[in-house]
């Protein structure tokens, strides 16, 4: 299981049931729903069978946030929860009972990095300067999520200003949210800048989450937290309603515990937006989940940048094991050599500025 040892310890102390609590002004009823490491397909099957409601699932996640993010190991991955989450979930339950299903995300709680606009919550980018910055409307991708039936559960902590604050900035710290903790080893780096989303999803504080990336801010915290993170091509996901850094590199993307969940989320996130200049050549909505194949790596050419290896024997060993797994799955692994290695930081600074 991907549950953190600290999370398991806390739950053992608290007992089998998480006590009733209140998160950001809304009641989080005592749940009987075990939420650890459950995928979207399983939640949907249970809700469709009538053994679970979106309301109860949302309440269970809210209670878990209170128990291990606010208290217990205090993962500190959530800046705020949506005060309307339970109401939204109940409305989606009513739609399901009436036979209306919006899609695979119907009734599924989703967390957003706190540089993405989602009413009625403020969008702070982790900065006290934006503490009261309540947007006039949802980001384009949030509208897509709501239309698909997702429950916006809350906003996650991040490296302040998505890490573009200082060359000495620490990953996962913001003046609004404090220090996000690594869900597996509390005093280790959670990576960033989508630190809160990575920690929260690894700790099963929501089904899936959305991060943003300019350079590594989805894939690095996903790697550290044992998640599937995808940085889509710039323009595949609308950038409207997201606090920007570099217009040529910014994008939002899914962070999930499985490839299938990441694909289901990306299917909703990726859609043409006529008001985003990068969306001009968008191919339209693609069902990424429909293209998943068990042997999907067979024949794929994958480059390995060995120039980045040789710094730590344990990391190198894990990398070699991953390369062996790719080969066993039928991939063609080739050594990639990039002549400009070592020059990237200076070049990127020009883009960011």
Active-site choice (113, 174, 194, 195): 113
- The pLDDT assigned to 3 comes to 41
Mean pLDDT to the nearest integer, 46-53: 98
Tokens 């042997």, residue located: 295
Of 38-47, 196-205, 331-340, give the lowest mean pLDDT range.
331-340
Q: CB-side exposure of 168: number of CA atoms within 13 Å?
A: 0
- The pLDDT assigned to 185 comes to 97
Helical H segments across the chain, by residue range: 5-14, 40-49, 54-64, 85-97, 140-147, 195-202, 219-225, 259-269, 313-328, 344-352
pLDDT interval class at 340 (50, 70, 90): confident
Decide: 201 and 180 in contact? Cβ < 8 Å.
no
Task: Give the C-alpha distances (Å, rounded to integers) separating 304 from 173, 222, 223, 338.
Answer: 31, 19, 16, 10
Active-site choice (171, 204, 217, 238): 217
Is 217 catalytic? The answer is: yes
Task: Please provide the average confidence, as pLDDT, over all residues in the chain.
Answer: 91
Is 155 catalytic? The answer is: no
Is 193 catalytic? The answer is: yes
State how far the Cα of 153 lies from the Cα of 156, in Å rounded to an integer.
10
Is residue 226 left, alpha or beta, with left meaning phi > 0 and alpha meaning psi from -120 to 50? left
Tens of pLDDT, residues 266-296:
999 999 999 999 998 788 899 999 999 999 9
pLDDT interval class at 135 (50, 70, 90): very high
Residues constituting the chain? 353
Q: Can you list the domains of the chain with their CATH numbers?
A: 5-292 (3.90.1300.10), 295-353 (no CATH)
Mean pLDDT to the nearest integer, 48-57: 98
State how far the Cα of 188 lies from the Cα of 180, in Å rounded to an integer.
10
Parallel/antiparallel/unpaired status of strands 151-156 and 109-113? parallel
State how far the Cα of 63 lies from the Cα of 32, in Å rounded to an integer.
11
State how far the Cα of 94 lies from the Cα of 54, in Å rounded to an integer.
10
Task: Judge whether residue 83 has pLDDT over 70.
Answer: yes
Active-site choice (193, 195, 204, 238): 193
CA dihedral angle for residue 265, residue 270, residue 274, residue 276, rounded to 10 degrees? 100
State how far the Cα of 51 lies from the Cα of 104, in Å rounded to an integer.
17
């Amino acid at each position: 299981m991907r549950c953190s040892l600290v999370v398991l310890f806390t739950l053992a102390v608290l007992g089998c049931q998480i006590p009733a609590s209140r998160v950001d002004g809304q009641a989080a009823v005592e749940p009987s729903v075990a939420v650890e490491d459950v995928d979207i397909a399983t939640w949907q099957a249970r809700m469709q069978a009538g053994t679970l409601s979106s309301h109860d699932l949302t309440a269970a996640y809210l209670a878990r946030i209170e128990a291990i993010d606010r208290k217990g190991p205090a993962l500190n991955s959530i800046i705020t929860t949506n005060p309307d989450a339970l109401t939204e979930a109940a409305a989606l339950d009513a739609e399901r009972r009436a036979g209306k299903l919006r899609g695979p995300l119907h009734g599924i709680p989703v967390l957003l990095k706190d540089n993405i606009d989602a009413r009625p919550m403020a969008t702070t980018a982790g900065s006290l300067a934006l503490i009261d910055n309540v947007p006039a409307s949802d980001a384009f991708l949030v509208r897509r999520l709501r239309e698909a039936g997702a429950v916006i559960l809350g906003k996650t902590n991040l490296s302040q200003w998505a890490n573009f604050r200082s060359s000495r900035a620490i990953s996962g710290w913001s003046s609004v949210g404090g220090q996000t903790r690594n869900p597996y080893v509390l005093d280790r780096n959670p990576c960033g800048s989508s630190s809160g989303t990575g920690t929260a999803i690894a700790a099963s504080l929501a089904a899936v989450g959305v991060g943003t990336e300019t350079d590594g801010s989805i894939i690095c915290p996903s790697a550290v937290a044992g998640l599937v993170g995808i940085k889509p091509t710039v323009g595949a996901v609308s950038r409207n309603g997201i606090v920007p850094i570099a217009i040529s590199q910014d994008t939002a993307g899914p962070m999930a515990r499985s490839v299938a969940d990441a694909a289901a989320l990306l299917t909703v996130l990726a859609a043409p937006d006529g008001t985003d200049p990068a969306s001009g050549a968008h191919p339209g909505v693609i069902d990424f989940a429909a293209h998943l194949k068990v042997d999907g790596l067979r024949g794929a050419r994958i480059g390995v940048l060995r120039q980045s290896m040789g710094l730590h024997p344990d990391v190198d060993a894990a990398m070699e094991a991953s390369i062996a797994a790719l080969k066993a799955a039928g991939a063609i692994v080739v050594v990639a050599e990039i002549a400009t290695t070592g020059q990237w930081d200076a070049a990127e600074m020009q883009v960011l500025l």
